[in-house]
Structure 1
Amino acid sequence: MAGRLPGPEARWAFSTLGCSGASWDELAALAGRHGFEGLELRVADDEPLRIGLPAHEAKVAARRLAGAGLSVVALNTYVRLCAPFEPDERRDHQSRHLSALVTLAQGAGASGIRVFMRDDDASPGPGMTAGEERALRRIVAVTGQCREAGIRIFVETHDSHSRGDRTARFLSSLDRHVPGHPCEVVWDAAHSWSHGEDPAETFEAVAPWLAYVQVKDIRAADDPVPVMIGEGSYPIDRLMITLAAAGWRGWLSLEWERKWHPELPALDAALARVREWVRS
């Protein structure tokens, strides 16, 4: 089963975390060389896309990437939904960034924005934590804006919400309290596994809200440094079998974290390895 895609309609993307600062032309060339069709675009001060970018520049990016046949799967942001509010909520840093990023995503032609929960409460009870209540309030504040812009908010299985079961509890609460909310799930598959969930368990938990899957291989659950696909300890065959059995047809996005691990080979080599692995 190694390398078998979950159905003929599955599409591959990659995150620009693996090629920080790359130009639109460089991204198009990378994707075209290896047959990738989508991008997760990192948003930060050291990237072409950043908060405060003039609207016309975001639209230039959208035109350049669309002209190369590329979809912008998400803008990868560092919003922390569970963070404490500023003393004056009207000036809350996370809320203002969230709203600005919805506008940026619309201009850049993205489907949505990736966010983190980052809850300080590591041992939640059956109800919402104080941090999750803050996340809910921030989501309520932008739900109308997201609806008008056609933008979704992608909650990643990361940090406090690495496990699918906890992420699913939060999304279920959102469904009850905020009908029509814009939130879906980005499943960082290796994160959930390194926190004790089998791929089948995580998929069952988050499937109702699943937007796309971030794929990577890592040395070990307790040593999550990325390695080439198929060369680490992450059970990627089980992931693919799970997706295939469910008939899932969404995006698979390679997250090659060279920004945080500059000793890694270039993204070009990692993309080549993915295509080799898929065809094996």
Structure 2
Amino acid sequence: MNSRRIFLKNSMALAAISALDLPLKKSKPKLAFSTLGCPKWSVSEIISTAVAQGYQAVEIRGLQGELYLPKCPEFSSPDQIAQTRKQFEDKKIKICNLGASTALHHLDPEKRQKNLDEARRFIDLAQQLACPYVRVFPNDLPKDQDREKTIDIIGEGLLELGKYAEKANVTVLLESHGEVIWKDVLLRIMKQAEHPNVGLIWDIFNMWSVTKEPPKEVYATLKKYIRHTHIKDGRLVNGKPEYTFIGQGVAPLTEAIDALKSGGYDGYYSFEWEKMWHPEIPEPELAFADYPKSIKKYF
């Protein structure tokens, strides 16, 4: 009898909470950072910082100034790759993404082939590292190329890479980047490249700083394809971004992250601190320590 009373009491309490629509706990985001933010660091420095600052993963966009990862000693042979993978696994830090420089907009057959071959090398490397994603760029809509043909060839190349990646159990992610940052253009490309091993990286500030499309609308349009996010903040000075720590700029991160949360997004919120391209911004030690604290307020 007592057990029944306790059961009924607990059931009523849970029903009351449900009726009030009160969350039982706050969601905890999965955090990563890109090595674009620490272009001089070794693998050991990257891993130790990730552990110390509470990150769950790292996306590798170059190591010690080298962007083409197969050229790096850490990835130069099967043994070296296995050793590098073990360094991350021993500290329980995942490699969540490899950032290739592949650009899919080229109509020139030789340039196109070179870029596709690079992406394939990254897909092969990702397989060896048990890394789920490889990033590629769309990337531009050159004035000396037919716009429609360029958009079509981006989609064709992305689908070709997705089919290749399927064999490696890797997903190819197109980043909203360059001149291909409008939601409707991205939607067209993603529909053309429809494949289980093809997805999208939503770089929130990258898109919004140019298009000013509301993040809620962007997410509603592209939700189906978004597998990964790049998070950064900044101010616009004379039309160009000046990067800041999270929460100190004008990026509409609240709207974007609210949309991601309400839509059930369960991927990484990856901090992209562009130190490689902007050496004048604060050092990675400061930026990587700030991000986990600053991003909390959005959750």
Q: Give the aligned CA root-mean-square deviation in angstroms.
A: 2.5
Q: How far is the alpha carbon of 1:48 from its aligned partner?
A: 8.2
Which blocks of at least 5 consecutive residues in structure 2 are unaligned? 1-24
Which blocks of at least 5 consecutive residues in structure 1 are unaligned? 1-5
1:165 aligns with 2:184: yes
1:186 aligns with 2:205: no
Maintained 8 Å contact 2:31/2:292 = no
Q: Counterpart of 1:84?
A: 107
Rounded Cα–Cα distance in structure 2 between residues aligned with 1:169 and 1:88? 23
Rounded Cα–Cα distance in structure 2 between residues aligned with 1:232 and 1:44? 28
Q: How far is the alpha carbon of 1:106 from its aligned partner?
A: 1.2
1:116 aligns with 2:137: yes
Q: Which has the larger radius of gyration?
A: 2
Give runs of ≥4 in structure 1 deviating > 6 Å: none
Q: Counterpart of 2:86?
A: 63
Bigger mean CA deviation after superposition, 216-225 or 60-69 = 216-225
Q: Counterpart of 1:3?
A: none
- 1:226-272 C-alpha deviation (Å, 9 max, x unpaired): 11111111122222222222232221000000111111111221122
Structure number with greater CO (CA < 8 Å, separation at least 6) is 1
Maintained 8 Å contact 2:100/2:136 = yes
Q: Counterpart of 2:250?
A: 233
Bigger mean CA deviation after superposition, 166-175 or 36-45 = 36-45
Q: Counterpart of 2:69?
A: 50
SS of the counterpart of 2:189? Answer: helix
| 1:106 maps to which of 119, 127, 135 | 127
Q: How far is the alpha carbon of 1:95 from its aligned partner?
A: 1.8
SS of the counterpart of 2:96? Answer: strand
- Superposition pairs of residues 1-280 of structure 1, within 5 angstroms: 8-43=27-62, 46-47=65-66, 50-52=69-71, 53-87=76-110, 92-121=113-142, 129-175=148-194, 180=195, 182-194=197-209, 195-220=211-236, 222-280=239-297
Q: How far is the alpha carbon of 1:49 from its aligned partner?
A: 6.3
Maintained 8 Å contact 2:158/2:193 = no
Q: How far is the alpha carbon of 1:98 from its aligned partner?
A: 1.6
Maintained 8 Å contact 1:28/1:65 = yes
* TM-score with structure 2 setting the length: 0.81
Q: How far is the alpha carbon of 1:77 from its aligned partner?
A: 1.1
Q: How far is the alpha carbon of 1:121 from its aligned partner?
A: 4.8
* TM-score with structure 1 setting the length: 0.86
- 1:8-54 C-alpha deviation (Å, 9 max, x unpaired): 24201000000014222111111111101111101478338623532
SS of the counterpart of 1:47? Answer: coil
- 1:83-119 C-alpha deviation (Å, 9 max, x unpaired): 1233597xx2112112111111112221111111123
